Structures are given as structure tokens and as C-alpha cells.
A = this chain, B = another copy of it.
Amino acid sequence: MRVIYLKDIPGSVLEAKSGPAILLLFLGLIPLSVLLWLVHAPFLVLFSVSGVAILPLAYIMGISTEELGKHMGPGLGGLLNASFGNATEIIIAIAALRAGLIRLVQASITGSIIGNILLILGLSMLVGGLRFKKQTFQREAATTRSTMLALATAGLVMPSLLLLSSGTDIPSGTITSMSLWIAVLLLIAYGGALLFSLHTHRHIFNPRGEEEKPEWSKGYAILVLAAAMALVAILSEILIEAVEASIETLGVNELFLGVIVIAVIGNAAEHSSAVMMAWRNKMNLSVAIAASSSAQIALFAAPVLVFASILIGNTMTLAFELFELIAIGISVAVVSAVASDGESNWFEGLMLLIVYGIMAVGFFFLP
């Protein structure tokens, strides 16, 4: 088994012979998406092509943030990876909010949290575990992160729990103002998390010995990142237009699209870099990416999208469905259990993937 390192391309050396061909094929999907959109191609084709076209861009964003992160050490680097991985999702979500697909955006928040934990961590542990019998990661940072994640999701799910437990007779104005209050509290927690991980307790998140030497210059990494983000923005518009049409004409389940499809596309950057790190036995970074990314979705992306939705004029509240809440709760409980011993193996990875698979079956069959 061989991993293609995209970062080796600038050095014009490709470790895998089929690498450049595959990459060009993928990158070729970007102009193809635009072309298909211009000729009003069938929605399913447009959806598939633009969705797949975002993947290499998210991957390139992953590589460039990975390189940029190396200039900053694993702790801050992990945070950077998480926030710019979430950038893909925020860009897609804003396009969806502008199109009025509020339910889809809520579902993609759920899906990102679940996916980051179960799918990223599961794949990382499985792939890493196939190569190494036991992989270890720094217990203190991992438990700090999983506690942070537990608290973050507790905050995020509270309004929905409230709504569910009091019936649906709450006026929508109340739900909106409750969501705004909670969004403010979540952003305060996010500010605290930044202050904590980047300033007062930096040492926990930036341990010695696992740092890699950057292979790109800082400027080059920023340039690639910016270009990829701009392309993602364009493709998101096309993707959401296709999603909108799919829902209308094909009657596809909006929740399934949001939780599974959009969340997977939006988090492909973290997926690829976390799995890459696990394969290279750097589980600290894998766990950091997965847990930070989930916490960032809950503490940063979710409140930002609540405010953005009000500015856009299609108000999104923090009222999720019961099944989403339970799925998030189980995911967080599972990651706490798995992270608490500071060790992983292939079977823990497989179990996380199976729980994800069962949730996917659930969201697919949900009417």
C-alpha cells in the first residue's frame, strides 16, 4: 500500500506513477463543473461532478494548511487544520443558506461533528492500526480535547433538547432569541478555547518531538490555500444549486444529504490529513484534527452560521432533530471512551466506522 503525497508535487517528484494523472483528472473536474453548469446539465451529473471536484480542493487546502501548520507546531497546527477544514464547510453552508436550505445546513453541522469523530477517527485508527499493532497519543491533550468537545456539544444541543422537551408550541421568535443567546455563549467558549490552547496552556497542545519540517514556504502555502478557497466558493454555488434541484425534483432526503454527503465533502480535508498522519504513526495529530474539528464546528461554525443566516435573511436556529442529538451524544461519548486511554488499534477504528455506518443506514431510511 502506497500513499500519494500531494506535497511532493511542487518538488516535481511523484512517488506514485499514477499520481499526476489522477490529480489532473480530479482538477479537471473544476472547469468541467463550470461548463456543465453553463450548459444546464442534469442535476445529478452537476451534483456528482461539482461534489467530487471539491474533494481535491479540500485536499489541497488540507495539504497547504498542513504545511502552514508545520510552521506553527502540532497544537496550533492542529487548530489551523481544523479551522481551514471547516472553512470548506462554512463556504458550502453559506451558499446553502443563501438558497434557503436551512435544514440542510443544520444537518451538515450534525454530520460534520459525527463525521469528524466517527469517520475521521475511525478511518485513522483503522488505517494506522493495520500498520502498527498499538498506536499511542498524548493522553492529557486528548482528554482535554474530548472534554472540550463534550462541553461544546452540550452547549450546542441544549436549545434543541429544550424545544423537544417542551413540545412545538414555542413561538419561533423565542427559538430565534434563544439561539442567539446560546450562539453568543458558544463564541465566548470559543474565545476561551483559543486563549487556552494558544496562550495560557499552549504547552499541552504543542508538545516536543512530533514536529515535522515544513516543505513549502509560508507564502507559497498561503497562496495555495487562498486559491483553493476561492475555487471552493465557486463550486459550492454550483453544488448547492444542484442539491436544491435534486431535493425538489427527485425528493431526496435533505437530512441524509446534509448529514452524510455534504458533511463528507466539506470535511474531506481533515479526513485526508488525519488518515495520513495515522498512517505515519502521528496519532497525536490525527486525534487533534478530529476532536478540534468537531469542537470548532460546535463552538465556531454553528454560531457563525446562526449570525450569517440572520444577515442573509434566512434565519437558521439551533433546533436539531432528536435523532441528530442522540447521534451527536453517542459520538461524543464514544470518542471520550476511546481517547481516555491514550491508545488505539485497528478494532477501535473498525467499531467507530461501524457505528458511523449504522448511523448512515439510519439517516438514509429516515423518512
Q: Is the CB of A323 within 8 A of B362?
A: no
B150–A333 touching, CB < 8 Å: yes
A151–B185 touching, CB < 8 Å: no
Interface of chain A residues 115 through 152 with chain B (CB within 8 A): 133, 140, 143, 146-148, 150-152
Interfacial residues, chain A to chain B (CB-CB below 8 A): 133, 140, 143, 146-148, 150-152, 154-155, 158-159, 161-162, 164-166, 169-170, 174, 177-178, 181-182, 185-186, 188-189, 192-193, 195-196, 200-201, 321-323, 326-327, 330, 333-334, 336-338, 340-341, 343, 345-348, 350-352, 354-355, 357-359, 361-362, 365-367
Task: Please state if B334 and A333 are interface contacts (CB–CB under 8 Å).
Answer: no
Interface contact A147-B337, CB-CB below 8 Å = yes
| Cβ contacts under 8 Å, A150 to chain B | 333-334, 337
A133 touching B201 in the complex, CB below 8 Å, given contacts A196-B345, A196-B347, A367-B166: yes
**A321 — which chain B residues lie within 8 A by C-beta?**
165
The answer to whether A355 and B322 touch across the interface, beta carbons within 8 angstroms, is no
Residues of B within 8 A of A326 (CB): 161, 165
What is the bound-complex CA distance between A189 and B151, given in angstroms? 29
* Contact (A351, B159) CB under 8 Å given A341-B140, A367-B169: no
Nearest Cβ in chain B — how far from A257, in angstroms?
A: 16
B361 touches A147 (CB 8 A): no
Whether B365 and A188, one on each chain, are in contact in the complex, defined by CB atoms closer than 8 angstroms, is no
Q: In the complex, are the beta carbons of A359 and B165 less than 8 A apart?
A: no
Would A354 and B201 count as touching, CB distance under 8 A? no
Which residue of chain B has the shortest Cβ distance to A161 in the bound complex? B326
Partner among B151, B169, B355, B367 whose Cβ is within 8 Å of the Cβ of A170: B367
Which residues of chain B are within 8 angstroms of A323 by Cβ–Cβ distance?
Answer: 161-162, 165-166
> Is there an interface contact between B162 and A338, defined as CB atoms closer than 8 Å?
no
A-B contact pairs, 14 of them (CB 8 A): A140-B341, A146-B337, A154-B330, A155-B355, A162-B366, A169-B367, A178-B365, A182-B358, A185-B358, A186-B354, A189-B354, A196-B346, A196-B347, A201-B347
| CB proximity of A355 to chain B, nearest CB, Å | 5
A13 to chain B, nearest CB (A): 35
Residues of B within 8 A of A330 (CB): 154
A291 to chain B, nearest CB (A): 13
**Residues of B close to A338: CB separation below 8 A:** 147
A334 vs B146: C-alpha distance when bound (angstroms): 10
**Which listed residue, B165, B166, B182, B336, touches A361 by the CB 8 Å rule?**
B182
Question: A154-B355, A340-B143, A367-B166 are contacts. A361–B178 as well, Cβ < 8 Å?
Answer: yes
Cβ-neighbour of A151 out of B164, B336, B352 (below 8 A): B352
The smallest beta-carbon distance between A328 and chain B, in angstroms, is 12
Known A147-B348, A154-B358; 19 more pairs at CB < 8 Å: A133-B200, A143-B341, A147-B334, A148-B347, A150-B337, A151-B352, A158-B358, A158-B359, A159-B362, A161-B326, A161-B362, A162-B362, A164-B322, A165-B321, A166-B323, A170-B365, A181-B361, A186-B354, A189-B350
In the complex formed, the residue of B with least CB distance to A174 is B365
- Which residue of B has the minimal Cβ distance to A196? B347
A195 contact set on B, CB distance < 8 A: 347
Say whether B347 contacts A192, CB under 8 Å: yes
